[in-house]
Chain A
Amino acid sequence: MSEPDWSQRRDQLTRAVRRLGSGYDEAMVDDLVQQGMIRLMRKPEAVNASYVWRTAWSVICDFRRRRRRRPEHGDAALPFVKDEGPSPADTVVATDLRRALRDCLEQAPESRRDVLTLYLVGHGPTECADMLNRTLKSCENAVYRGLDALRECLRSKGVA
């Protein structure tokens, strides 16, 4: 099997990291690309476009999880520097909203719950229908009605 064109793969990986990690500075992108290249070179036989994107995704997921557990980068790692991130109050509000959203979703009828979950992570009704073996129409209705009910539920909890 021929060796992958590593220069081309590096360009592709850089593009993928930039797109998935929007907002990262160039130094951060370089670091992540370097980590990704190491993973790609461990499995040269598997390298294709899909694998490159998956590698970019896994590098970014690992980085975010690591940072959440133990901040190593940015102002969060330097408590004496002015913190421009979300304030503790903002974080509490975000956590409350997330919790309320979860409760409202759990209250939703079963027929809507999975469709709404897929919609909230970025899938449109057509994809929902494919993934859940449902008709497009039932998924469209579940999204429309479900979002209305979700907003109403959040309002009733005072978080929307």
Chain B
Amino acid sequence: MTDEQLKQAFRDPAGSSEEGCDLDAIWAGAAGELDDVGPLLAHLRTCGGCAEAWALAREAQLGAKADEDAPKVHVPPPANRSLAWVALLAAAVMVFVGVWALQSPPGADTNPPVFRGDGDGIQAGVGQGDVAAGRRLWWSPVPDAVRYEVTVLSPALAVLHEARTAESEVVVPSAVAGGPVVWRVTARKQDGTAVESDTFRAVLPEAPR
């Protein structure tokens, strides 16, 4: 069952009594204006109608924010245009330097790995230099692990890629677009126990064509 199906089921008003639905409180809760949102969330768990109203309120608040932000787009007056060009030039130089840094260091693979994590359990390896290695996710091996299950998700938590492997690394396939992702690993041991990693962040480069 996907995240979207779970959300849809949770917001299904079928069978809910809708007693105790306070639309003002729901609006304030969705806007993050309540000091203690716990009791209202407990009510949402029992009432699909209120859960649906909350989800709609959030969408309405995002729509209002977009409308309020829209007129604030500012076109610099002619006197400031030269300043804008300088900023644009500086940005272009920074992009150029960034691309050069990504492509240039042939010796980067010899750098010692940098591990990330809280030092307890599985740690993620980062620090590889070239573009191909940037799509390789790797981690500290777990003693007695017979299999690793890797999940790569978007920052909005949509599952982008899942893999099972006996190695302590995977290469994210080119079907997954470059950009920020989060990922985690579960190590399965022979005796059936599992070790779960923290959730790690990474920025995937676009796959080489």
Query: Are A125 and B157 in contact, with the CB atoms below 8 A?
Result: yes
In the complex, number of A-B residue pairs with CB atoms less than 8 Å apart: 133
**Is A76 located at the chain interface by the 8 A CB criterion?**
no
A122/B9 contact (C-beta < 8 A), A49-B67, A130-B32 known: no
- A121–B55 Cα distance when bound, in Å, is 5
- A68–B16 Cα distance when bound, in Å, is 10
Query: Are A20 and B60 in contact, with the CB atoms below 8 A?
Result: yes
- A154–B155 Cα distance when bound, in Å, is 25
Query: Are A122 and B7 in contact, with the CB atoms below 8 A?
Result: yes
- A95–B9 Cα distance when bound, in Å, is 9
A141/B68 contact (C-beta < 8 A), A121-B58, A127-B32 known: no
Contact with B along A93-117 (1 / 0, CB 8 A): 0110111011001100000011001
Name the prevailing secondary structure of the A interface residues: helix
B3 to chain A, nearest CB (A): 7
Query: Are A65 and B55 in contact, with the CB atoms below 8 A?
Result: no
The 8 Å CB contact of A160, one of B1, B21, B37, B38, is: B1
B1 to chain A, nearest CB (A): 5
Closest residue of chain A to B66, judged by CB?
A49
Task: Tell me the chain A residues, 81-97 only, with Cβ under 8 Å from chain B.
Answer: 91, 94-95, 97
7 A-B pairs besides A60-B56, A98-B16, A120-B6 with CB distance below 8 A are A91-B15, A97-B12, A101-B9, A117-B45, A119-B157, A120-B11, A127-B32
